[in-house]
């Protein structure tokens, strides 16, 4: 049996807090699994405000997995520009191709089948099940992971974090529960938390203990650390190359060799005759 940590999350209190104030996000009106998947992949490392226009544009161009699968990777990457981490776009297109080949063009509603798709990990697979298929599964993103650790008062293993999250899902309310608990982590249980108005303040082990150091969320499963600085990073340099060659092919000599080598290794650009271009 797994070791119990903290009490169960007070689902009633969280729903009462979150339902009236649920953020109005365009994918929340959707149940189409492809549209949900695209939103989740875009949101993995990019802020909501930057994702919204890109999500609309991407789905206008590729309304189904089949539309995405037959496009050139270059066109997929052009639509991804500004979101960063372009390997996500490459994986998304590869996933779309498998969905067409193995699943008749429809995202599967099975956890293992979803996990078999490129770039889809436990978080994204469960997000598709919860937000498209309205399954009672728990979605653990970095915001939820902070709540799980702090409310239990200790750093959690991946297994225990998922168990604790699963135990909290109210029967038949997986969709709304996951939305609301993610909102709680995004708005109150932030890296620097605002505990007084939190619906879990009366039961959160870490808060009730006076928030001793160290914060149990630090190093707990699913909680991401600080993002590395963007200015001057290889990530920024890669983005500049992709933006430039997205307009037209450019001489390789215009760019840093190591940045081009990394992009070639990732299958994101092609170099031929000393010219760099997107895979068309």
List residues with catalytic annotation: 40
Helix (H), strand (E) at residue 185 = helix 174-187
For ligand SF4, the binding residue among 206, 242, 255, 269 (CB under 6 A) is 206
Q: Is 193 in the site for ligand SF4 (CB under 6 A)?
A: yes
For ligand SF4, the binding residue among 201, 244, 249, 264 (CB under 6 A) is 201
For ligand SF4, the binding residue among 5, 151, 162, 179 (CB under 6 A) is 151
In the complex, the smallest distance separating the C-beta of residue 209 from ligand SF4, rounded to whole angstroms, is: 10
In the complex, the smallest distance separating the C-beta of residue 195 from ligand SF4, rounded to whole angstroms, is: 3
Q: Is 241 in the site for ligand SF4 (CB under 6 A)?
A: no
State which residue, 29 or 196, has the beta carbon closest to ligand SF4.
196
State how far the alpha carbon of 97 is from the alpha carbons of 31, 54, 84, 131, 138, in Å.
Answer: 21, 21, 22, 22, 27
Q: Is 150 in the site for ligand SF4 (CB under 6 A)?
A: yes
* DSSP state string for 76-132: HHHHHTTS--THHHHHHHHHHHHHHHHHTTS--S-HHHHHTSTT--HHHHHHHHHHT
**Count of positions on this chain that bind ligand SF4 (CB under 6 A):** 13
Contact region with ligand SF4 (CB under 6 A), list: 158-166, 174-182, 188-196, 268-276? 188-196
For ligand SF4, the binding residue among 54, 126, 207, 238 (CB under 6 A) is 207
State which residue, 174 or 193, has the beta carbon closest to ligand SF4.
193
For ligand SF4, the binding residue among 188, 252, 263, 268 (CB under 6 A) is 188
- DSSP state for residue 255 in the 8-state scheme: S
Q: d(Cα 151, Cα 133) in Å, to the nearest integer?
A: 28
In the complex, the smallest distance separating the C-beta of residue 159 from ligand SF4, rounded to whole angstroms, is: 21
Contacts of 131 (CB under 8 A, 6+ apart): 27, 28, 30, 31, 36, 40, 139, 175, 178, 179
Burial of 231 (0-12, 13-18, 19+ CB in 10 A): exposed
For ligand SF4, the binding residue among 111, 195, 264, 271 (CB under 6 A) is 195
In the complex, the smallest distance separating the C-beta of residue 6 from ligand SF4, rounded to whole angstroms, is: 10
In the complex, the smallest distance separating the C-beta of residue 204 from ligand SF4, rounded to whole angstroms, is: 3
Strands 275-277 and 250-251: antiparallel
Q: d(Cα 80, Cα 268) in Å, to the nearest integer?
A: 12
CA angle 263, 265, 267 (to 5 degrees): 70
Q: Is 189 in the site for ligand SF4 (CB under 6 A)?
A: yes
For ligand SF4, the binding residue among 68, 89, 169, 198 (CB under 6 A) is 198
Q: d(Cα 174, Cα 61) in Å, to the nearest integer?
A: 30
Residue position matching structure tokens 């119990």? 4
Q: Is 71 in the site for ligand SF4 (CB under 6 A)?
A: no
Binding site for ligand SF4 (CB under 6 A): 147, 150-151, 188-189, 193, 195, 198, 200-201, 204, 206-207
């Amino acid at each position: 049996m797994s070791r119990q940590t903290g009490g169960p999350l007070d689902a009633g209190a969280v729903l009462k807090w979150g339902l009236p104030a649920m953020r109005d996000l365009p994918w929340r009106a959707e149940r189409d699994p492809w549209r949900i998947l695209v939103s989740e992949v875009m949101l993995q490392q990019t802020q909501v405000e930057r994702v919204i226009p890109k999500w609309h544009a991407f789905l206008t161009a590729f309304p189904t997995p089949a539309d995405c699968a037959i496009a050139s990777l270059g066109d997929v990457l052009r639509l991804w520009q500004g979101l960063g981490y372009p390997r996500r776009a490459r994986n998304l297109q590869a996933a779309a191709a498998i969905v067409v080949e193995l699943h008749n063009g429809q995202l599967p509603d099975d956890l293992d089948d979803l996990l078999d798709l490129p770039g889809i990990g436990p978080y994204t697979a469960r997000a598709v099940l919860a937000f498209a298929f309205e399954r009672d599964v728990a979605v653990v993103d970095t915001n939820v992971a902070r709540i799980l650790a702090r409310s239990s008062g200790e750093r959690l293993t991946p297994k225990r974090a998922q168990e604790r999250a699963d135990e909290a899902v109210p029967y038949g309310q997986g969709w709304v529960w996951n939305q609301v608990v993610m909102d709680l982590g995004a708005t109150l249980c932030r890296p620097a938390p605002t505990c007084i108005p939190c619906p879990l303040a009366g039961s959160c082990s870490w808060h009730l203990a006076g928030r001793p150091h160290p914060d149990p969320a630090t190093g707990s499963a699913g909680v991401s650390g600080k993002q590395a600085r963007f200015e001057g990073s290889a990530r920024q340099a890669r983005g500049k190359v992709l933006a430039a060659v997205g307009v037209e092919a450019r001489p390789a000599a215009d760019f840093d060799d190591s940045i081009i080598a990394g992009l070639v290794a990732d299958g994101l650009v092609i170099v031929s005759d000393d010219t760099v271009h997107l895979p068309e």
